[in-house]
């Protein structure tokens, strides 16, 4: 059901606490504390559907219009009784904190100050709140958007992921779908050489035709895509990204499946603190000036220091300008342990310089960034290379491998596309499980709630994933492996290493 311009304005006020006209909206809480309306929008407590969301030990009441205006009035658990609401008494409750009989509402309920026009818009939206289904959701269909390159350097990988996801949805639909609904993919294609992935995502969401975003590949614009999903209040499940970030989480809407470089290097730091500390008091972290890698280096430094490794030198360089001569300085300073976050070519240069100097450091590396170069390392570094991986072949369950291979058989793809296809399959499996648990009464808000309750779910090809209100990386941790440079093979050093906060 479409919304009028006034109802659209009311929706913005309800969800975001901001006036579309730019007028001020403020909220008073308790004994005079005044905040911007955007700090405490209605949806924060009452939920996007108006049915109440538990918050800090409180259970805000349902505020759907049919509930507010039920003819026999209201009797609350605390004993407060009052008559049915009307549009005028709802407005008074919002502005003054009083029910229709003049009783004070719960002190946790803010009193909002806004213009008469904005209040009228809010009332108009509240009257249609419970009739508003989320975009991309019908009685028979759930439409899922996926942003993938189909042209340019990454076009092959994008087409391989798109084909795998389509085969997954076709197979699921052939078995009856999810609670009687079919999954329908809506592909937002772009050219990776032109870097238009984010623009394609914006165009897709502007059409208002998808319920959630699934998987996806937008190198260099991962943060922006996450911010867009948060802004549009649309779930984004399993975006493929070379790293995640530390500090503030990307938002409530975004769920990663596997750890990225940021988590991998922290696992390496903890491993080194236990196994390599006797190699000396100095450790160096080398990384290009790039947002995700800078934050990964900062997080790793914190882990090193937390384990008593006080002399941690961080060496930054402009992307594309790595100078392998840094090896000579590190050798002179007595540094024996190096966490390196450059690319394959830069790592090869560092190892070549180390060989020329007769310096054999212990190198800590991300499997995401360095696997090929590590496998080709000079033999003198045997036993000195340690890589972190977010998953290993040992995670793969026979039933999931059979299903994956069956889907993959109908998609034209090379073996090098297996990793992105595993990422797409895993994201689809996680989303499918959350949709099943949510049930027939589906909404974006309910889906997010059930995503946050997923615990130790096994997608089948990667480690079990768990989420929570403050956890948005499903398998948060990594494996540590070493490289046997005689056989040129990788050998795990123990099992999964969960990363604690």
DSSP conformation letters of 154-215: THHHHHHHHHHHHHHHHHHHHTTTBTTBEEEEEEEEEETTTT-HHHHHHHHHHTT--SEEES
Give which of 352, 342, 441, 426 is closest to 390, Cα–Cα.
Answer: 426
Q: In this structure, are 64 and 101 located in the same domain?
A: yes
pLDDT for the residue 221: 87
Q: Is residue 475 part of a domain?
A: no
2 near 113, Cβ under 8 Å? no
Instruction: Verify that 329 and 377 share a domain, yes or no.
Output: yes
pLDDT beneath 50: ranges in the chain:
1
Tokens of 46: 């009452």
First to last CA, the chain: 44
**Crossing angle, helix 398-409 and helix 418-438, to 10 degrees?**
110
Question: DSSP letter string over 226-285?
Answer: HHHHHHHT--EE--B-S---SSS-S-TTEEEEE--HHHHHHHHHHHHHHHTGGG-SEEEE
**pLDDT for the residue 72:** 85
Cβ 171 vs Cβ 240: under 8 Å: no
Q: Which residues contact 419 (CB under 8 A, 6 or more apart)?
A: none
**361 and 342 housed in the same domain:** yes
Distance CA 215, CA 240 (A): 6
- Give the CA distances from residue 168 to residues 176, 234, 254, 404, 421, in Å, rounded to whole numbers and listed in that order: 13, 22, 21, 9, 11
Would you state the torsion angle of the CA atoms of residues 490, 491, 494, 499, taken in this order, to the nearest 10 degrees?
A: -10
135 domain residue, yes or no:
no
Q: Which of 65, 93, 128 is the last residue of a domain?
A: 128
DSSP annotation string for 398-441:
HHHHHHHHHHHHTS---GGGHHHHHHHHHHHHHHHHHHHHH-SS
Q: pTM of the predicted model, to two decimals? A: 0.78
Q: Are the CB atoms for 238 and 361 separated by under 8 Å?
A: no
For residues 224 and 279, state if they share a domain: no
Tokens representing residue 91 in the block: 């407005």
**Structural domain total, the chain:** 3
Residues 292 and 381 placed together within one structural domain of the fold: yes
Order across the sheet with 236-237: list the strands: 182-191, 141-151, 212-214, 236-237, 254-258, 473-475
Indicate whether 136 belongs to any domain: no
Q: What is the per-residue pLDDT for 57?
A: 61
Asked if 234 and 358 sit in the same domain, the reply is: no
Tell me how far CA of residue 195 lies from CA of 148, 155, 217, 421, in angstroms.
11, 12, 11, 21
> What is the CATH number for 407?
3.40.50.2300
Beta 212-214 vs 141-151: how paired, if at all?
parallel
The answer to whether residues 55 and 100 belong to one domain is yes
Among the three residues 73, 98, 128, which one is the final residue of a domain in this structure? 128
Which residue range is the domain that position 177 belongs to? 141-258+397-470
Other C-beta atoms lying within 10 Å of the C-beta of residue 304: 25
**Are residues 250 and 273 part of one domain?**
no
Q: How many CB atoms lie within 10 A of CB 208?
A: 12
**Rounded CA gap, 101 and 76, in Å?**
13
Residue 133 inside a domain? The answer is no
Residues 243 and 282 in one domain: no
With respect to residue 291, please indicate whether it lies within any of the assigned structural domains.
yes
Nearest 10 degrees: Cα torsion 113, 117, 119, 124 = -170
Q: In this structure, are 363 and 407 located in the same domain? A: no
pLDDT at 412: 84
Q: Are residues 124 and 19 in the same domain?
A: yes
Query: Does residue 191 lie within any of the structural domains?
Result: yes
Using alpha carbons, select from 117, 91, 128, 92 the residue that is nearest to residue 7. 128
- What phi and psi values does residue 489 have, to the nearest 5 degrees? -125, 160
91 in the same domain as 238: no
Report pLDDT digits (tens) over 403-420. Answer: 999 999 989 889 989 999
Q: Identify the burial level of 145 via C-beta atoms within 10 angstroms of its C-beta, where 0-12 means exposed, 13-18 middle and 19 or more buried.
A: buried
Separation of alpha carbons 205 and 209, rounded Å: 7
DSSP-derived secondary structure for 461-499: SS--B--BTTB-EEE-EEEEEEEETTTTEEEE-SS-EEP
336 vs 316: CA distance, rounded Å: 18
pLDDT of 149:
97
């Amino acid at each position: 059901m479409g919304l009028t311009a006034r109802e659209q304005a009311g929706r913005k006020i309800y969800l975001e606490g901001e006036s579309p006209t730019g007028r001020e909206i403020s909220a008073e809480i308790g004994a005079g504390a005044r905040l911007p309306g955007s700090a405490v929008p209605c949806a924060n407590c009452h939920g996007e559907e108006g049915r109440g969301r538990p918050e800090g030990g409180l259970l805000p009441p349902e505020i759907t219009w049919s509930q507010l205006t039920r003819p026999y009035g209201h009797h609350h658990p605390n004993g407060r009784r009052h008559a049915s609401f009307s549009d005028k008494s709802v407005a008074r409750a919002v502005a003054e904190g009083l029910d229709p009989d003049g009783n004070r509402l719960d002190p946790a309920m803010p009193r909002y100050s806004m213009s008469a026009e904005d209040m009228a818009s809010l009332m108009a939206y509240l009257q249609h709140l419970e009739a508003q289904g989320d975009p991309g959701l019908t009685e028979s269909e759930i439409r899922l958007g996926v942003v993938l390159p189909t042209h340019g350097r990454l076009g092959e990988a994008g087409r391989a992921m798109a084909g795998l996801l389509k085969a997954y949805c076709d197979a699921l639909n052939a078995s009856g779908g999810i609670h009687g609904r079919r999954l329908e993919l809506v592909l937002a294609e772009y050219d990776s050489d032109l870097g238009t992935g984010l623009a394609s995502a914006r165009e897709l969401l502007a059409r208002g035709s998808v319920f959630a975003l699934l998987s996806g590949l937008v190198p260099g614009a991962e943060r922006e895509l996450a911010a867009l999903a948060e802004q549009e209040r649309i779930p984004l499940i399993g975006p493929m990204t070379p790293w995640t970030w530390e500090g503030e989480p990307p938002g409530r809407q975004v769920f990663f499946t596997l750890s990225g470089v940021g988590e991998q290097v922290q696992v390496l730091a903890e491993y080194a603190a236990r196994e390599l500390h006797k190699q000396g008091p100095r450790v160096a972290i080398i990384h290009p000036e790039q947002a995700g890698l800078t934050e990964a280096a900062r997080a790793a430094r914190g882990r090193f220091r937390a384990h008593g490794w006080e002399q941690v030198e961080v060496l930054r360089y402009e992307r594309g300008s790595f100078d392998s001569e840094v090896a000579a300085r590190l050798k002179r300073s007595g540094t024996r342990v190096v966490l390196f976050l450059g690319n394959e070519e830069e790592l090869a240069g560092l190892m070549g310089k180390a060989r020329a100097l007769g310096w054999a450091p212990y190198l800590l590396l991300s499997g995401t960034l360095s696997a090929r170069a590590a496998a080709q390392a000079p033999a003198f570094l045997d036993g000195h290379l340690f890589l972190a991986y977010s998953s290993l072949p040992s995670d793969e369950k026979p039933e999931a491998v059979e299903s994956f291979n069956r889907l993959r058989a109908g998609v034209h793809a090379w073996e090098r596309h297996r990793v992105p296809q595993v990422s797409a399959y895993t994201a689809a499996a996680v989303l499918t499980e959350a949709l099943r648990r949510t049930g027939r009464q589906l909404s974006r808000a309910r889906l997010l709630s059930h995503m946050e309750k997923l615990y130790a779910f096994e997608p089948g090809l990667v480690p079990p994933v768990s989420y929570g209100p403050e956890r948005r990386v499903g398998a948060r941790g990594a494996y540590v492996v070493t490289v046997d440079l005689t056989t040129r093979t990788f050998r795990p050093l123990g099992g999964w290493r969960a990363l604690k906060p």
